[in-house]
Chain A
Amino acid sequence: MNGFEQSKAINTTQSVGSSRSLLQWNQRRSDIAWAYLLILPTILGFLIFIAGPVIAGLGLAFFRYDIVSAPKFIGLANFERLAADPRAMVVLQNTVYYTFGMVIFDLVLAMALAVAINSKIPHMLKRFYQAIFFFPILVSGAAIAIVWQLLLASDIGIINYFLGQIGIEKIPWILASDWVKPSVIMVTVWNGVGFNMILILAGLQGIPNYLYEAADIDGANGFQKFSRITVPLLSPVIFFIIVKGIIGVLQLFEAPFVLTEGGPGDASRTVLMYLYESFRQLKIGYASSVGFVLFGIILVITIIQFVVSRYWVFYDND
C-alpha cells in the first residue's frame, strides 16, 4: 500500500524541524474540531432528551402541575401524599416481588439454557437452540401479551387445557391476585431470557478449558466445577445481569398493562403503570414524585450493589 509505506518512511525520518511541529499542531486542532463536530448530535441528544429531562423530572416532583395552570411550588407535599397513599404501598410491594421473582427466575433460566447450549452438543444444535431462545427478544411485548392473554384464559385457554390433561385444576392466571404477578413474570421472562442467555454464553465461552481439566484431575464433580469455577468466573456477567434486571423491573409496563391493566385491583400494577396513571390524570407533579422516589431507590440499590460486588465479583485481573 503506497500510503502505508509512505507513513512508515515519514515516521522513521529523523527530521524534527519546526515546520513539522506546526503541521502537527494544525493537524491536531483540525482533529479536535472534527471530533467535537462528530459527537455533537449525540451530545445534543443527550443534553436535550436525557440529561435535561432527568433534571426537570426530578425538579417537577416539588411542584403541582396539571397543564392547564402554571406549575406551583409545593415543596414536599407530593412526597407526603405518596408516603400516605396505600396504593403506592401496594405498587411498591409489587415491585419488590417482581424484582426478586423476575431477576432470579430470569437469571437461573438463562444460566441453565446457556450451560446446556455450551455443553458437548453438536455445533449445529448450538446455533439452532441459540436462535430459538433469542428470537422472542425481538417480538413486541405488547403484541405477544395479547397472544398470552388468550393462552392464559381460565376457561378456554390452551394452557389450562393441557394442565387439565395432567390432572391439574384450572389456574386463574390473569384473574386471581395470587396468580397475576407470576403470570406477568412468566410472560416477561419469555420475552427477555434470550438476551441474558447470550450474555452468559459469551462469558462461558471465555472460560478456558484447562481450568475444568485441572479440576477433573483433582476429582471434582460437576457441581463443584460449576460452583467453584463457572460461577466465580461468570460473576461479572451475573452482576451485570442483576443490575440490568433490577433497572428493567422498573420499566415493566407492556405485559401487565396488556394482560391485566394492573389488576385485579392493583395486584399486578407496576411503578411505571402507576406513574402513567397519574400522568393520564394530569397530576404531573405527583407523577414526577413517583419517578423521583424510584430514581432514588434505584440509585441507592445500584450503589449498594457496586459496593457489595467487591466481595463476590471476581475480575480476571485481580
Chain B
Amino acid sequence: MSTPSDQTKNQTLEPHIPITRTSLIPITFLTIMALLMMFPLVWMLSASLKVPATAMKIPPELWPYEWRFENYAKVMTHPQVPLLLFFGNSLKIAVVVTLGQLVTTTMAAYAFARIQFPARNIIFLILLSALMIPGQITLIPLWILMRSLGLIDTHAALIIPSITSIFGVFLLRQFFLQIPRELSEAAKVDGANHLRILVQIMIPLVAPALTTLAIITFVGAWNNFLGPLIFLQSWENFTWPQGIVMLRGQYGEGAITQQMAAVTLGVIPVMIFFIAANRKIIQAISMSSGIK
C-alpha cells in the first residue's frame, strides 16, 4: 500500500487522474474482485477470533460477536500439536536458505553481469533452461541422494539444495546490468579486486533488489509444503504447514477456530513483509519478466 511519502513523491511526477463516469466500470469490477479475493483471508481472521461454538454457525456472523484471542494461545499450547516448534523449524530453515541464497546469487549474478569470461553466455543459458524443468523430476532422485547422505529427516535436506537459486541469479543479474560501468572501472583503477568491488560498491547499489529477493526466498521457504512432506519423517522436525494439516486431524471443541488461528499465524510474517515491501516485490517481478 502506498505510504504518505510515496504519495507526495509521485504526485510531482504523475498527473492526478480523477474518477470519471467511465472509470466507474473498471472500479466496480475491481472492487467486486477485490472483495472476492480478500474474502477467504478475512473469513480466516474472523473465524480465528470467534467463540468456538459459533465458528460455522448458519447464518454466519461475519463480525465476531465476542473476540476470543485465547484461541491463539490455546492453539500454540496445543497438547498434541507443538505449533511453536513447527514455526521454529520453519523459521530456521527459511532464514538459513535466505541467507545462503543471498550470498551465492549475488556472487554469481555479479560475475554474469560484470565479468567477461569464456562460455559465459552458454553457461547462463544452460542455467536458465533449468528454470523450465518441473520440480517433480528431481524430487525422487534428490530423496535418494539425501538418503545416501544420511540426511533424510533432517532440515539440512531441505536447506542444502536451496542454497543456490538460478531464479535469484537471473533476477539479480538484471539489476547488476543496470549499474553504470564507470563505477567498477573507477574502482578497478584504484586497485580494487572483484571482491572489493562487489562488496563495497555493487551490493549497496542493488540493496533494494537484495531485499526483494530475500523476501521472495523467505516466503517460498516458509510456505514450502511438498519438500518437508517428502524429506521429513519425525514429527518434531515438521514445518508449520505440516503442523496445520496435522491439526486438521484433531477434533473436538474449538478445533476450527484454533485451526484458523494457526493458519493466521502462518500468514502473518508474510503479511508483514508484504506491507513493508510490496511495491519493490512487484517491481522486481515486472523487471524479471524482461520479456522484450
Contacts and interface: CB of A to CB of B under 8 A. Distances in A.
A133 to B, nearest CB: 6
10 contacts: A41-B107, A46-B126, A51-B130, A113-B33, A119-B26, A156-B56, A156-B58, A247-B132, A250-B134, A287-B140
Interface in B1-60: 1-2, 6-7, 10, 14, 16-20, 22-23, 26-27, 29-30, 33-34, 37-38, 40-41, 43-44, 47, 56, 58-60
A57 B138 contact: yes
Interface of A: 1-4, 6-7, 10, 30-32, 34-36, 38-39, 41-46, 48-54, 56-58, 60, 67, 112-113, 115-117, 119-125, 127-136, 138-144, 146-148, 150-151, 153, 156, 158, 161, 190, 195, 198-199, 201-203, 206, 236-237, 240, 243, 247, 250-251, 253-254, 258, 271-272, 275-276, 279, 284, 287-288, 291-292, 294-295, 298, 302, 315-316
B54 to A, nearest CB: 12
B282 A198 contact: yes
B164 A147 contact: no
Nearest to A315: B292
A130 to B, nearest CB: 6
Q: Closest 10 CB pairs between A and B?
A: A45-B164, A3-B186, A53-B141, A140-B223, A202-B286, A116-B26, A38-B111, A35-B117, A53-B138, A56-B141
Contact of B193 (A34, A54, A130, A143): A34
A143 B58 contact: no
A247 B123 contact: no
| Contact-residue bracket for chain B | 35 or more
Interface centre among A50, A258, A279, A294 (most CB of B within 10 A): A50
A124 B107 contact: no
Given A35-B115, A236-B292, A258-B245, A146 B138 contact: no
Contact of A42 (B26, B164, B190, B194): B164
A272 to B, nearest CB: 5
A198 B182 CA distance: 33
A291 B136 contact: yes
Interface stretch (B68-76, B204-212, B259-267): B259-267
B252 interface: no
A302 B134 CA distance: 12
A158 B43 contact: yes
A202 B289 contact: yes
Given A38-B108, A39-B111, A121 B256 contact: no
Given A10-B189, A41-B163, A271-B136, A122 B241 contact: no
Nearest to B118: A32
A56 B148 CA distance: 14
Interface in B214-240: 219, 222-223, 225-226, 229-230, 240
Interface in B246-292: 248, 256, 259-260, 263, 266-267, 270-271, 273-274, 278-279, 281-282, 285-286, 289, 291-292
Contacts, number: 300
Nearest to B168: A42
B134 A42 contact: no
B2 A147 contact: no
B115 A4 contact: no
Nearest to A118: B26
Contacts of A190: 37, 40
A138 B223 CA distance: 8
A150 B291 contact: no
B141 A121 contact: no
B93 interface: no
A294 B134 CA distance: 9
B118 A124 contact: no
Contact of A50 (B130, B190, B193, B274): B130
B117 A32 contact: yes
A243 to B, nearest CB: 8
B241 to A, nearest CB: 4
B266 to A, nearest CB: 5
Nearest to A295: B137
B186 A42 contact: no
Given A34-B193, A138-B274, A201-B286, 7 more contacts: A32-B117, A38-B108, A46-B126, A49-B164, A117-B26, A138-B219, A291-B136
A117 to B, nearest CB: 7
